Every structure is written in C-alpha cells, then in structure tokens.
Chain A
Amino acid sequence: MELVDLPVPEPKANEAVVKLAASGVNFIDVYQREGRYKVPLPFTPGQEGAGTVMAVGADVTGVKKGDRVAWSGPLGGYAEFAAIPADKLVPVPSGVSDQQAAAAMLQGMTAHYLSHDTYPLKRGQTALVHAAAGGVGLLLVQMAHNIGTRVIATVSTEAKAKLAREAGADEVILYTQSDFEVETKRLTGGKGVDVVYDSVGKTTFEKGLNVLRPRGMMALFGGSSGPVPPFDLIVLSQKGSLFVTRPTLLHYTATREELMSRSGAVFDMMAAGKLKLRIEHTYPLAEAQRAHRDLEGRKTTGKLLLIP
C-alpha cells in the first residue's frame, strides 16, 4: 500500500464526492490487498467511510452538499475524498459522530444481518460467537445479548475475554487454552448450540459443526484463519441435518430500502446507547500499512480507523 497524490475525483452523474472524516479498516481490505479476493489493479482500498458531501453528480437527488453521510461497499475509502454512488450513501443522524458512523457501517450491519436475518436470534437460544472481541464479534455479542440469547464466546487472550464479557457474553472460552468443542459441549450439557457465527473459517469450521444441535445453523461469514476447504455434504446430515450458509453483506443490503433500514437500525441502537463501538485504534492515513499489520497480527480489539 503506497501513499500517493491523486486528483480529487469528479462525481459521475449518479455519484457524490465525499470528504472523508474517517475510513474503516476491515479484514476484507486485507483479502483484497493479498489478492485472495480479486480487484483490478491499481485500486484504492477501503470499503467503508463517513464524511461530508462536497459535490453531487447531475442525476443525484437523495443527498446534497453539506450532508453527513456514511457508506459501506464501494472502494476508495483510504483517501481524503471518495466518489461514491449516491444510492449507497446513508444519512448519519446527529446522535452519531463521523468516527462512530465509519466504524459502524460494515461491521455493524454485518452483526445486524447475522443476528436478525441470517439466523434471527430469539430469547432463550444459545449462540457460539468466534473472535468475539473482534470488530464484528463485539457488536454481535451485544446484539445477541440484547435479544436475550445466551452467548458463548471464543477469544485468544484474557484481555479479549474481558471485553467479550463486558459486551454481554455469558461464557468465554480461551481457545488457546481449551478445546472450544469440548467446552461448548460441556457448557450446553451436551446439547450443542442453535447457531455458530464463524468468521475464522479454516481452523474452526469442522469443530463448529460438532457443537451444533440437530438442525442448527453454521453461519460462516469470514475466513481470518484461511478459507474453509470444500467439505462433504453428507457430514451435515450425519452431524444432525445441519444448515450452512456463507453470507455476505452485499446480499443483505441489496436494495436501497434494506440498506436504509439496516443502517438506520444500527445507528438507532448506537444513539440509544444499546450498541457500544470500541474505537481504540485510529491511524493517520499515511500509516495504513501499520494498521494492516496490527489487524493481521490479531493484536487489535474493536474497530480500526484511518483518519485522512
């Protein structure tokens, strides 16, 4: 990742140019940088940001200069200005700061769709959340807790365990010390959990299937330890007629209506104090490399932001 000087973009007819106040750093940025997910070169990474509209294209009616907006999806966030399709911009309410908005878009909407749509959680159910002190993890634990679901969290350190508990996890497993499969079975009296939310992938997938109750669901939404290799479907029936899904945010914000509704729900929770975002790590834009190293080294908790 190189810091360069480029002209300020001009908006196309359907775009708005936003002056960024903050840009969110996500694991997907790492996968794109690595080439695991392909993007035509050269490109400016960053799929998430918040700021103020500076200019709008000829066909844009939904936003105007001066509006506070946020987005998730279109590339170009690691910059001072970004040209974003206007239909991807959502308004940021006054009770939410630019940094909070940038921090909340991708991870907040991800936690929201996972717990409200992919597997709509109910009071009394039990969910296993991996990487519970990560960006999505801490938000997902809070949302599950607010719904009244019992949360079993997995983390790698005591410090992260503390954060997961503060977010509402009922039980925390240090997977570096215990086998999460054995522990989860013990914690559920051998019954298993209703749903596993797994962003870790390769090292956790198969054991996750073992801790699901019959007809439970594996929601695999990331692969921070590596992609899950192809698996034999018969295993799903043997382990209890299990359901598997591999969701992405794109399909849960496919229409403007859904995007507005989901971002609105997340901002509402934040403004009401029901969803707390940890923004511990802010970096100047020029230090994007350090941000990635810290993220990949699993040293960080909560959200990382780049400030242009």
Chain B
Amino acid sequence: MLARTADNLFWLARSMERADYIARTIEATLRLDYLPKSDGDQTMEWESALNATGAYDSFMAAHGQLDEENAVEFLTFDRSNPSSICNCLENARAAGRAVRTALTAETWTAINDAWLELQRFEASHRFARPMDRLALTRFLDYVKKASLDFDGSCYRTMLRNDAYWFNRLGVFIERADNTARLLDVKYHLLLPSTEPVGGSLDYFQWVAILRAVSAATAYHWVYRDRVKPWLIADLLILKRAMPRSLVSCYESIDRALDALARDDGRSGLAQRHARAMHAKLERSSMTQIFQGGLHEFITFFIEDNARLSNTISEQYLFT
C-alpha cells in the first residue's frame, strides 16, 4: 500500500475518533453545568473541558477570557481551532477523499454523509448563534452517531488487510490519548485520599468523567458499587473489558501492529514499543500507580503514546 494512503487512513480514523471524544466531553461538561452552583468560579468546568481536549492554550490565545458560549463555539464550529469538531470532520473527509480507493463504499458513504450533514449544521448555525441547548444536543448526538457509523462500517465492511490495520491503529492511539488526557485533567479528583461524600460536587464530577468516555453504565456492571474515584481510575486504565481503557486500547494496538508485521513479514521498532507499553499496563496495579503518582503515570503515558505514533510514521514511511 502507498505510504501516503496508510498515513491518510491513520489520520482519518484519528479525526473521527477525536470528534466523538470532543462531543462527549462537551456533553459531560454541560451536565456539570446544570448542577446548582455555590459561589466560586462558574467557568472552571469549561477550563477543564478545554484542557481535556488539548485546546486550552489556543483558546486563551484567541479569546483571553473564558465563558461557556465561546468555549462551546471553539470546540464545535470554530474553524480557527484545528481540533474543533468541524475541523475534525472536515479533515476526515479530506483524508477519505484522498484515499477513496482504500475505503469500502459503506465507509466512504458514512464519512460523506457526516460531512454533508455538517454543511447543514454549519449553515443553520450561521443564522442562530449562540446555539441553544437543544440545537447543541442535536449536534452532539449527530457527531457521536457519525463516529459510530464510521467505526461500524470499517468493522463490518473492510477487508482485514493493511488498510484496516492502519485504520485501527488510528482509532486506538487516538482513543488512548483521549482517555489519558481526561484522566490527566481530572487526576486530582481520583486520588484515594479524596473520600467520597455522597451528593458532593465531586461525585458528579466523577460521573461526568465516566460519561465523557461512555462508561457510566459500564462502571456499575463492572464494580456493582457506587462511584468511587480510585475505581474510576482502575476502570479507565487497567480494565481489559472496558473498551476505552488504556490497557484495552493497547491490546488492540498491539494486535494491529502484529497483523501488519505478519502480513509484511517485517517487525520493527513500532511493534517492540507497543508490546512493551502493553506489557507494562498489564503488569500494573492501581496500588503501584498511586504509589508512583497517578499524575506522573499519566503524563508519561501520553508522551509514550505520542512516541509510538511517531515511530509508526517512521517505520511505514509516512514521514
């Protein structure tokens, strides 16, 4: 396969996954926003939403001051934010158009339909700013569905060859990055010392974290317990059964890279790097992670994950 094709497939999948994650983050933040507030900073939630999507610095550079309307606009329709949902979907389609021959008709249609729908949302948004909550909810639902359609059509219709495996690598490296960033922003809430107090704002914060990665229901199925912060960390880092946990993402990354190596008959640095990261996650326990520092663990993971992405680019000549 052309190196450029592999590159586009990889980033196409990353863009679709990122759009989904940003939509979920906004949703979870809106829910927090509904909570009765005591005094204090009204915009803290939006600050952490921007941080969790890696957009805080560019937002502040553009706006100087935080408010909900601008934060939502920045994360959804703002073309000047390279990671806005709009840009993610636009980039996904541009990448898809560049590699149409490597996509199934179903997958292309999923991407193209999402993009056509986006044109309609953008057009109506132009005349109705700011968005009311109803319009915003409808938009976020659409984004989640677009990502789901894309992922589903890949899974159901693509040949299990290199095109598929580069696509999977994009999905899971992006997903691992997203989960880790969310943990990074909220890590202070997840430390064992923060004892749960029923009905506290913290409690709703934890639930919001779970919602952001569509794990609120999953949590209860796994732990059959009320929401406890260290169990959230456990779920999102070490639970294999949880599809957005770091370990689950690495299981999939490892498998995709193995499949590529098997088809090519060549195994390289990317395979070794992924295997090492996967093994480390499998060996870890939450006790260990808390002892070494949750923050340090996550920061290191984010960097290591980015390193793997670069190694893949080099090994498969995208760069």
Do these two chains interact? no
Instruction: Report B's interface with A, CB cutoff 8 A.
Output: none
